[in-house]
Amino acid sequence: MPKKQKTTKDLLQAPKGMRDFIGDDFYKKQGFYEKAQEIAEYYGFSGIEVPMLEHEEIFSKGVGDNTDIVEKEMYRLKTKGGDKLVMRPEGTAGIMRSYIEHGMGSLPQPIFLYYGGPFFRHERPQKGRYRQLYQFGLEIIGSEKAVLDAITIQTGYQILKETGREITVKINTLGDAEVRKEHLKLLKAFYRKNKKLLSTKDLDRLQTNPLRVLDSKEKLTMELNENAPTFISTLNNESKKHFKLVLEYLDAAHIPYEIDNTLVRGLDYYTHTVFEYVTYDDKGESSLALGGGGRYDGLAKVMGHTKDVPAVGLGIGVDRSIEISKEDSFNPKIRKKPKFYFIQLGYEAKAKAFDIIEILRKKKYAVKHSLAKNKLGLQLKKAEDLKIPYALIFGKKEAIDGTVIVRNMKSRKQETVEISDLSDYLKTLK
Ligand code: HAM
């Protein structure tokens, strides 16, 4: 069927599932990244930025051909030169590509990296689900130590706690490649035995990606899954040891967690630990995942690297975290609360005000000003509404005398100060 032409009204709307960040939304997002970066830096991570486009194979091999993300949700494009590129649906595969490309394996291991920005998934938009979504991610590449799984979980947990909400970690293990293979056999046998309880969608998944049946949201399948064989019961000694250590470290870090036997996550690259963060509402219902991650020891090889590179990481959903965060959780540092409202009146004052405003900026005073406004009364009202403690009044007379009136907005006391003394005088004000 030919697609209906979009009207001008349609075209003047952001594409479906994508949105503008305006006013508070803009600053909250920025504040979130600032806080997340500060915590990640503290835990030893360094920033990295990789392109938003990658070769299609980075994700089809890395994330997995039969995952929802690759099969249904990728934005693909073909360049004029014929390259097949995709808009990144997630961060891990691109970061691993960068690690391999730049030979980071020859540096002291492991490498701690953080990144952030937009990702693209052609999902059905709904609350908390966007087609252009934002993540903050962590990856620790080059070591299989269990303590690194715990550091990843701890760093993400501390970032999410900044929302002001109680955060819980849901955790599971998929074991190593050997366990996964063995477990897949057990699972397939289990589901085949119970085939009549499965919907057509789950029967399809059984063919293409049986692990995803564990993730099913169908009521009957969810009930069935309560009796499905668990990874924990299939673990070999190595995998058991790894998981036990991770849990011991989480206990030591006082991180509340629940073991969730059906947690498998929607990406193929995971081995051993997988986890997600949720918060509960008053009715005890858990939120959409605020973030998730796990170990991915097999990814580098699957992407074509010659060596195995053990690694662990996570992605935090910035949109969802901001949506559930309490008021004032993420005020960015550049949004300082102004202490002074600079009021200028008339042409002479406006012209001279440029210099004064610049002196105050260099001294790092938080000043609000608007050279486009004229009326004293209106500007004083604005300063009052914004609860700014002092007004600096600069009119024609002051411009000629080289002074500024400093007015305490609460007591209404005023002081006339020479421009050359202004900066020092402001320093004395509380
Ligand atoms: P993911 O679970 O696909 O993992 O995404 C991480 C988080 O991004 C989710 O928990 C959710 O909060 C957010 N998210 C995902 N899709 C959407 C959407 N459509 N709208 C809004 N938020 C969304 C990854 O992407 C892995 N790369 C994480 C990782 C890093 N594993 C190891 N290292």
Question: Identity (one letter) of the amino acid at 311?
Answer: A
- Per residue in 80-103, pLDDT tens? 999 999 999 999 999 999 999 999
- Per residue in 330-345, pLDDT tens? 999 999 899 999 999 9
CA of 292 to the centre of ligand 1 (A): 6
Check if 290 has its Cβ closer than 6 Å to any atom of ligand 1. yes
Tell which atom from ligand 1 comes closest to the C-alpha of 276.
10
Tell which atom from ligand 1 comes closest to the C-alpha of 277.
10
Check if 314 has its Cβ closer than 6 Å to any atom of ligand 1. yes
CA of 137 to the centre of ligand 1 (A): 9
Examine residue 110 and say whether the peptide bond preceding it is cis (omega within 30 degrees of 0).
Answer: yes
CA of 191 to the centre of ligand 1 (A): 28
Check if 92 has its Cβ closer than 6 Å to any atom of ligand 1. yes
CA angle 305, 307, 309 (to 5 degrees): 95
Tell which atom from ligand 1 comes closest to the C-alpha of 265.
2
pLDDT at residue number 74? 96
3-state secondary structure of 289: coil
CA of 67 to the centre of ligand 1 (A): 13
pLDDT at residue number 192? 93
Check if 64 has its Cβ closer than 6 Å to any atom of ligand 1. no
pLDDT in tens, the chain (430 residues): 667 888 998 899 999 999 999 999 999 999 999 999 999 999 999 999 999 999 999 999 989 888 889 988 999 999 999 999 999 999 999 999 999 999 999 999 999 999 999 999 999 999 899 999 999 999 999 999 999 999 999 999 999 999 999 999 999 999 998 998 899 999 999 999 999 999 998 999 898 888 889 888 899 999 999 999 999 999 999 999 999 999 999 999 999 999 999 999 988 899 999 999 999 998 989 999 999 999 999 999 999 999 999 999 999 999 999 999 998 899 999 998 999 999 999 999 999 999 999 999 999 999 998 888 888 999 999 999 999 999 999 999 999 999 999 999 999 999 999 999 999 999 999 8
Candidate from 174, 264, 320 with most ligand 1 atoms within 8 A of CB, to mutate: 320
CA of 155 to the centre of ligand 1 (A): 16
Residue closest by Cα to atom 21 of ligand 1:
129
- Which residue blocks in 194-336 are alpha helix, DSSP H? 200-208, 219-225, 231-234, 237-252, 299-302, 318-324
The neighbour count for residue 77, using CB atoms within 10 Å, is 12
Check if 315 has its Cβ closer than 6 Å to any atom of ligand 1. yes
Tell which atom from ligand 1 comes closest to the C-alpha of 137.
30
Class of residue 78 by CB neighbours under 10 A (exposed 0-12, middle 13-18, buried 19+): exposed
Check if 110 has its Cβ closer than 6 Å to any atom of ligand 1. no
* 189 φ, ψ (degrees, to nearest 5): -60, -40
Reported residue count of the chain is 430
pLDDT at residue number 313? 98
- Cα separation, 37 vs 128, in Å, equals 22
- Cα separation, 77 vs 87, in Å, equals 8
The H-or-E segment that residue 10 falls in is: helix 8-11
Check if 135 has its Cβ closer than 6 Å to any atom of ligand 1. yes
Kindly state the tokens that stand for 322. Answer: 């901001």
Check if 313 has its Cβ closer than 6 Å to any atom of ligand 1. yes
CA of 136 to the centre of ligand 1 (A): 9
Tell which atom from ligand 1 comes closest to the C-alpha of 131.
19
Report CA 148 to chain centroid distance, whole Å. Answer: 20
pLDDT at residue number 1? 62
What percent of the chain shows pLDDT beyond 90? Answer: 85
Strands (E), 127-225: 132-141, 168-173
- Per residue in 306-331, pLDDT tens? 999 999 999 999 999 999 999 889 99
CA of 189 to the centre of ligand 1 (A): 30
- Cα separation, 71 vs 59, in Å, equals 10
